[in-house]
Amino acid sequence: MESTRKQLIDLLKEQDSHISGQQLSEALDISRTAVWKHMNELKKDGYEIEAIQRKGYKIVSSPDKVSKNTLQWGLNTKWIGQHLYHYPQVESTQDIVHQLAKEGKPHGTVVIADEQVKGKGRMAREWHSPEGKGVWMSILLRPDLPPVQAPQLTLLTATVLANVMDKRSALVPSIKWPNDILVHHKKVAGILTEMQAEQDRIQYVVLGIGINVNQEDGEIPSMIAHKASSLKMESGEKWDIQEFVQSILSTFEKTYDSFIEEGFQEIKQEWERYGYKIGEKVTISTMRRDFKATLLGIEADGALLAKDEQGEMEKLYSAEIHWGEGGYHA
């Protein structure tokens, strides 16, 4: 059923003109009544379909509401999003993917919701995920990697988000170590990586992506309004969430595949290109001391590399960084 719907969408998408019910029924090896039933389902998803006698069907417009079909429409990926679940409202997409992982769902399974009522950040923090305003999505990955490499997946995801935002707008995104995407010093996206692992092998990773897309002024909770924003607020334009998700997924797939084949080096360079305050001086507080240092970049284990005023290098895994004047404070 699922794959027939996808094939039907693909067939309709390829056509500039109408395609007859007969042609569709032959191509899909289903009855004409079944074709008609699928068409009705597509209409329920918000597709506007023109049906003309003796000519057939044509898609006049696709909906802007997010659904499984509208997302898979035009999604040119090999493995990511081939299994895709969309829900109007969930507690957290992370929990659903953990459940699907335990049920044995494959690498690349995606869960996306219009709204999360218990969206979560790191360390059980809250993640505000209002209905229809953003991308609230989790991806199941089954990488054949040792657990120490898991932080690289967070860094990889950050480069994907920065790249896609960069390409699709005039905004200049930056990546604040370790996992925030900022625009004009304000957080527009966060990443939550959760892992299930044995001693030397990752069993699976649930990669959560939260992006504030179409919130308007006043729609960001006042508690965080000084440090958070949305792509619409920063760019002045409304974003098409479906297309945005599709380009995130296809860029993610390409980036991930080349990371698996060629290693971390390119991700590191890309991350540093977008890295917030890389090359600049900040104040750092660790368990041992407070000091001023220049941020140099990241290491393969996910650490942030800094050089203090005496020229001594520090690898930071968890430290409080005072991002400075006009900067972001976590």
**92 belongs to the binding site for ligand BT5 (CB under 6 A):** yes
- Local structure of residue 303 (DSSP, 8 states): P
Return d(Cα 153, Cα 191) in angstroms, integer: 10
116 annotated ligand-binding residue: yes
Tell me the residue ranges of DSSP E strands in 198-226.
202-212
Q: Which lies closer to ligand BT5 via its Cβ, residue 24 or residue 100?
A: 100
The bridge status of strand 84-90 relative to strand 110-116 is: parallel
Of the ranges 11-19, 74-82, 121-129, 260-268, which one interacts with ligand BT5 (CB under 6 A)?
121-129
Per-residue mark of binding to ligand BT5, 232-251 (x: CB under 6 A): --------------------
Residue 69 CB-density burial (10 A; 0-12 exposed, 13-18 middle, 19+ buried): buried
Q: How many CB atoms lie within 10 A of CB 56?
A: 19
User: Residue 192, interface with ligand BT5 (CB under 6 A)?
Assistant: yes
Q: Which H/E stretch holds residue 56?
A: strand 56-61
* Residue of this chain nearest to ligand BT5 (CB atom): 190
Tell me which amino acid residue 121 is.
G
Q: Answer for the pair 212, 228: CB distance below 8 angstroms, yes or no.
A: yes
Cβ closest to ligand BT5, residue 44 vs residue 102: 102
Angstrom distance (rounded) from CA 228 to CA 25: 50
Contacts with ligand BT5, 125-164, as mask; x by CB under 6 A: xxxxx------xxx--------------------------
Pick the closer one to ligand BT5 by CB: 38 or 176: 176
Of these, 9, 19, 155, 228, which contacts ligand BT5 (CB under 6 A)?
228
**Nearest residue (CB) to ligand BT5, 96 versus 305:** 96
Q: Please state the residue numbers annotated as binding site for biotin.
A: 116, 187
